Amino acid sequence: MSEPTRGPKGRVEIKSEECKGCGTCVELCPQDVLLLGNDLNRMGYRAVTYKGDGCTGCGICFYACPEPGALSVYKIKDKALA
């Protein structure tokens, strides 16, 4: 039997105006779901963006980010296990 497909395990929200574009979270993300965007924020930094899927909710990017409040990580509960 094949295993049922499961939805995403986590998601990242980035406040682009708070991001300084250092890229630390991009380098440390084990799932490679973050990248430096092309657009500049109001401070002239290339803010990080989330690819939209693949996040596991591990939180490594959150703890690595030197800018408080620039990004948040949310763990998504698996409804099949709830």
Please state the pTM of the whole predicted model: 0.81
> What rounded mean pLDDT belongs to the chain?
89
Reported confidence tier of residue 7, pLDDT bands at 50, 70, 90: low
DSSP string, 7-39: --SEEEEE-TTT-----HHHHH-TT--EEEEEE
The CATH fold assigned to 10-73 is: Alpha-Beta Plaits (3.30.70)
For the chain, the domains span 10-73
What was the pLDDT predicted at 77? 83
Residue 4 reports pLDDT greater than 60: no
d(CA 60, CA 1): 34
